[in-house]
């Protein structure tokens, strides 16, 4: 069957990854406009790298979740790093990326007939085969740039060999130059793509969004707070979302050590490659003011986000320029002030400050983080007003309807 758009994404519901949820909402929007949409994706395995319970990995599984939408799940290489397990090795990460690349490209070639192929450019290896598929199919090709790779991988030390870095940079440049369209999430990313050869008239800045009807401000005395044994007197600093290698979330534990004698509690809700390490550190240091929960069901999102008096985002130095955590949008949608431990000139800092939605402190500075939280726990009125600013900013600039209208225009131009 001929489709209007084939979306290639490694993340898709029921995974909790925000980008996967956005792609589901994008597909629903296009289908509501009468378009036929194919989704080529993995079997659910994020963030732990194991296939979710109730799912069976296979070469191909086709689903029809709604009129006009077809989901094609492809063979997925499980990386086996769980909630408290060790991060997967470099070889496993590379193998998982290559398996998804080959499986997704094969399904796009033999099982779809799209007018437009739209893929998040992660892993970078998807770029080259999708260029070939688009030419063979006579389809337009567009990439979404959520993170700047390979810069992020190089900064983390995950890729060190000069030859491999050179190949990845060539893949990046070639993908930007050969794509019929690029959707990037901010002006800094647009400049990056142009510097690497993208045609200016093919690049569109389309920010990420959050569903403000689903995520909304709620009472801070939530059921999650009660389950953790916390009461309304506790000032809670919440870290919710994927806790990955670039997060630098260790700074939160360092701040917790400094604040053990104050009525401030730290709560991590999420999973990722650093969780096991953080849990071990908290246990070794007997941090009774630190709590961990795995990802919660989607129907509890408001209770989770309401738990925090302030919400935390952290990034290792250098990574604010290559990645913008989606958790920031969720925090702001919930009306919670953001405390960002990031570099002052990065996109996350710029976004928080533009919205007057929070406070920016130096990356990896646990002393500054502890001092900020100590001050804010005595300024609840200020914290509430700051959180309200963030919600208002999203209502004015980042609603789902506003951003999806930009995508509709983007696809119309491609077609």
What is the DSSP annotation of 343-392? -TTSHHHHHHHHTT-EEEE-TT-HHHHHHHHHHHTT-HHHHHHHHHHHHH
Q: Could you give the CA distance from residue 213 to residue 300 in angstroms, rounded to a whole number?
A: 14
Tens digit of pLDDT for each residue in 165-185? 898 899 999 999 999 999 999
In three-state secondary structure terms, 38 is strand
Give the domains, in start order, of the chain with CATH numbers: 2-209+399-414 (3.40.50.2000), 223-397 (3.40.50.2000)
Contacts of 17 (CB under 8 A, 6+ apart): 11, 46, 47, 242
Q: Could you give the CA distance from residue 75 to residue 99 in angstroms, rounded to a whole number?
A: 8
343 touches 363 (CB < 8 A): yes
Place of tokens 């799940």: 73
| pLDDT (mean) for 242-249 | 87
| pLDDT (mean) for 24-43 | 96
Tens digit of pLDDT for each residue in 322-380? 777 889 999 999 999 999 999 998 999 999 999 999 999 999 999 999 999 999 999 99
Q: Could you give the CA distance from residue 211 to residue 394 in angstroms, rounded to a whole number?
A: 10
Q: Could you give the CA distance from residue 43 to residue 56 in angstroms, rounded to a whole number?
A: 8
């Amino acid at each position: 069957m001929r489709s209007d758009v084939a979306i290639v994404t490694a993340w898709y519901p029921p995974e909790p990854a925000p980008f996967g949820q956005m792609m589901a909402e994008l597909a629903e929007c296009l289908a509501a406009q009468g378009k036929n949409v194919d989704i080529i994706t993995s079997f659910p395995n994020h963030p732990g790298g194991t296939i979710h319970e109730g799912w069976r990995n296979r070469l191909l599984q086709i689903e029809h979740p709604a009129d006009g939408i077809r989901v094609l799940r492809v063979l997925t290489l499980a990386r086996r790093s769980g909630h408290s397990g060790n991060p997967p090795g470099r070889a496993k990460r590379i193998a998982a990326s290559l398996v998804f690349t080959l499986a997704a490209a094969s399904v796009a070639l033999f099982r779809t007939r799209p007018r437009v192929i739209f893929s998040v450019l992660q892993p970078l290896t998807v770029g080259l085969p999708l260029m070939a598929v688009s030419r063979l199919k006579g389809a337009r090709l567009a990439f979404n740039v959520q993170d700047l790779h390979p810069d992020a991988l190089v900064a983390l030390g995950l890729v060190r060999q000069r030859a491999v870095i050179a190949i990845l940079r060539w893949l990046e440049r070639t993908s930007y130059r050969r794509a019929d369209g690029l959707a990037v999430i901010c002006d800094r990313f647009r400049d990056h793509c142009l510097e690497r050869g993208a045609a200016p008239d093919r690049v569109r800045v389309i920010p990420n969004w959050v569903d403000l009807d689903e995520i909304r401000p709620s009472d801070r005395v939530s059921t999650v707070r009660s389950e953790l044994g916390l009461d309304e007197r506790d000032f809670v600093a919440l870290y919710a979302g994927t806790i990955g290698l670039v997060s630098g979330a260790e700074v939160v534990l360092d701040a917790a050590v400094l604040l053990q004698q104050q009525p401030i509690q730290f709560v991590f809700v999420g999973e990722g490659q650093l969780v096991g390490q953080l849990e071990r550190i908290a246990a070794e240091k007997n941090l009774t003011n630190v709590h961990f929960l795995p990802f919660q069901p989607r129907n509890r999102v408001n209770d989770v986000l309401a738990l925090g008096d302030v919400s935390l985002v952290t990034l290792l130095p250098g990574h604010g320029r290559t990645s913008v955590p989606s958790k920031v949008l969720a925090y702001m949608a919930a009306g919670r002030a953001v405390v960002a431990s990031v570099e002052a000139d990065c996109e996350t800092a710029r976004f928080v400050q533009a919205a007057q939605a929070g406070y920016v402190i130096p990356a990896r500075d646990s002393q500054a983080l502890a001092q900020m939280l100590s001050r804010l726990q005595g300024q609840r009125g200020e914290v509430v007003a700051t959180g309200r600013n963030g919600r208002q900013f999203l209502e004015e600039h980042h609603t789902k309807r506003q951003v999806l209208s930009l995508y509709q225009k983007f696809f119309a131009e491609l077609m």
